[in-house]
């Protein structure tokens, strides 16, 4: 999707990362400013010198306006070619850029001559004809051309710097937008991969539980298959979204624990929050499943005594605490570096950007895994990569 959007956006670009509208808009606005400045300056100088001499060194305002109109297409072509050439490699690009500026500036005075010839009266035409035979050897004509060249060359440079700066800023902004889109897509793909890691791991353990009942209790195994089908449906539905209601998440956990209790009925006890104790909040989908599975697996390992898995939910100062406690052997120290706990930490880091954490520790014969995250009361956006959620 990102590649398609990038390709579509590139087709709309005119030159140097600018669209046609951006290029024409900034170029024309700049040239309007230059034209008005030159006309006002020439008018003030023409008015001031009229008191001292009748010889006009500055063209009339209408001729100067027509000069800038005639130069506008040349300016647009020069700017467009400059943006296409760019500045790398510098040894090749710099001479070409200089040539564009020199050619444009050299055409400024001929454009003025065309404008004055078009708008001038009979006396102006006669005066121009006296210089037409030797325009490059006439000192007046040559000095006026040099003055015009020197005046328009820095003007072209300022305009080129303006439009090049806008092009660089536009490319930088577009690259930032593409980078942000890639980061959002990467976050979504990463969360999807983490959910896919959870699902096969959970199913493997449940199938292993059912397998233990097939030979000596077929009816119980059939009943467990039905329960597994319901659990699988919930698992697939939960895996398609980033967030789920806490009540739905606890119902999924209850189904999983009931399946495990069918196998370890004499050893496994379950304590879940009462419905009225469950706050109406949203949590990352399948966030409790790895903790509960870890509690069952590590709680039952290395000893034959009873195991109690207990889930506690608490909301305080805008923070939601999910605590999973389980019994372990006194001499056993359960680790917190398994794939399930690692995935939970990565999901919290991606979805809450450092505002949520998972801690795990043991005290005597009890192991505690605790998640602390912002309490989300409103329905979160469908895409978790839209940013960290606010309580």
Q: What is the predicted pLDDT for the residue at 357? A: 93
- Token pair for 310: 């207990």
Task: Look up the domain containing 38 and give its range.
Answer: 2-181
Quick: pLDDT tens for 7-39: 444 445 677 788 888 899 999 999 999 999 999
Same domain (yes/no): 44, 157: yes
What is the SS3 assignment for 258? helix
50 vs 31: CA distance, rounded Å: 28
| Tally of domains in the chain | 2
Give yes or no: residues 104 and 231 share one domain. no
96 and 7 in a common domain: yes
Positive or negative CA dihedral for 195, 197, 198, 204?
Answer: positive
The pLDDT of residue 5 is 45
Task: Looking at the structure, tell me whether residues 33 and 128 fall in a common domain.
Answer: yes
My answer on whether 147 and 279 are in the same domain is no
Asked if the structure places residue 203 within a domain, the reply is no
Q: Within this chain, do residues 153 and 242 fall inside the same structural domain, yes or no?
A: no
Q: How far is CA 228 from CA 29, 190, 206, 354, in A?
A: 70, 27, 8, 35
The answer to whether position 197 is within a domain reads: no
Strand partners, 18: 15
Query: How much is the average pLDDT of 268-292?
Result: 90
CA dihedral 113, 118, 124, 128 (to 10 degrees): 40
What CATH number does residue 228 fall under? Answer: 3.30.565.10
CA–CA distance, 110 with 113 (Å, rounded to integer): 5
Copy the structure tokens of residue 51: 């008191």
**Do 259 and 374 lie in a common domain?**
yes
Residues of the chain with pLDDT > 90: what percent?
Answer: 30
Pairing state of beta strands 268-271 and 307-316?
parallel
Q: What is the mean pLDDT of the chain?
A: 81
Asked whether residue 188 is domain-assigned, the answer is no
Q: What is the DSSP string of 348-381?
A: HHHHHTTS-EEEEEEETTEEEEEEEEE-B-SPPP
For residues 41 and 167, state if they share a domain. yes
Specify whether 55 is located in the same domain as 145: yes
Range with lowest mean pLDDT among 157-166, 199-208, 276-285, 353-362: 199-208
| Among candidate residues 102, 28, 118, 22, the one with its CA nearest the CA of residue 66 | 118
Are residues 224 and 175 both part of a single domain? no
């Amino acid at each position: 999707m990102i590649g398609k959007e990038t390709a579509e956006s590139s087709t709309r670009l005119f030159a140097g990362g600018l669209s046609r509208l951006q290029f024409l808009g900034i170029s024309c606005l700049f040239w309007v400013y230059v034209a008005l400045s030159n006309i006002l300056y020439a008018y003030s100088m023409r008015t001031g010198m009229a008191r001292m001499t009748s010889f006009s060194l500055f063209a009339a305002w209408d001729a100067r306006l027509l000069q800038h109109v005639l130069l506008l297409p040349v300016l647009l072509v020069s700017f467009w070619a400059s943006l296409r050439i760019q500045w790398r490699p510098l040894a090749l690009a710099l001479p070409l850029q200089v040539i564009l500026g020199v050619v444009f500036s050299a055409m400024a005075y001929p454009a003025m001559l065309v404008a004055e010839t078009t708008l001038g009266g009979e006396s102006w035409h006669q005066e121009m004809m006296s210089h037409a035979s030797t325009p490059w050897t006439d000192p007046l004509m040559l000095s006026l051309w040099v003055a015009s060249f020197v005046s328009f060359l820095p003007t072209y440079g300022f305009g080129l710097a303006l439009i090049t700066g806008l092009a660089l800023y536009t490319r930088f902004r577009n690259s930032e937008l593409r980078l942000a889109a890639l980061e959002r897509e990467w976050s979504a793909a990463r969360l999807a991969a983490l959910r896919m890691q959870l699902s096969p791991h959970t199913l493997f353990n449940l199938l292993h539980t059912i397998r233990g009942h097939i030979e000596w209790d077929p009816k119980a195994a059939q009943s467990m298959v039905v329960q597994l089908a319901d659990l699988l449906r919930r698992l697939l539905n939960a895996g398609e979204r980033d967030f789920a209601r806490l009540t739905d998440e606890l119902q999924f956990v209850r189904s999983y624990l009931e399946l495990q209790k069918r196998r370890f009925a004499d050893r496994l006890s379950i304590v879940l929050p009462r419905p009225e104790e469950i706050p109406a909040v949203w949590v990352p989908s399948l966030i409790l499943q790895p903790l509960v599975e870890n509690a069952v697996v590590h709680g039952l390992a290395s000893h034959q005594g009873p195991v109690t898995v207990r889930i506690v939910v608490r909301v305080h100062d805008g923070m939601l605490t999910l605590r999973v406690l389980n019994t372990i052997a006194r001499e056993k120290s359960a680790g917190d570096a398994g794939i399930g706990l690692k995935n939970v930490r990565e999901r919290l880091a991606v979805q809450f950007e450092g505002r949520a954490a998972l801690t795990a520790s043991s005290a005597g014969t009890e192991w505690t895994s605790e998640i602390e995250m912002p309490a989300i009361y409103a329905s979160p956006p469908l895409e978790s990569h839209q940013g960290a959620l606010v309580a």
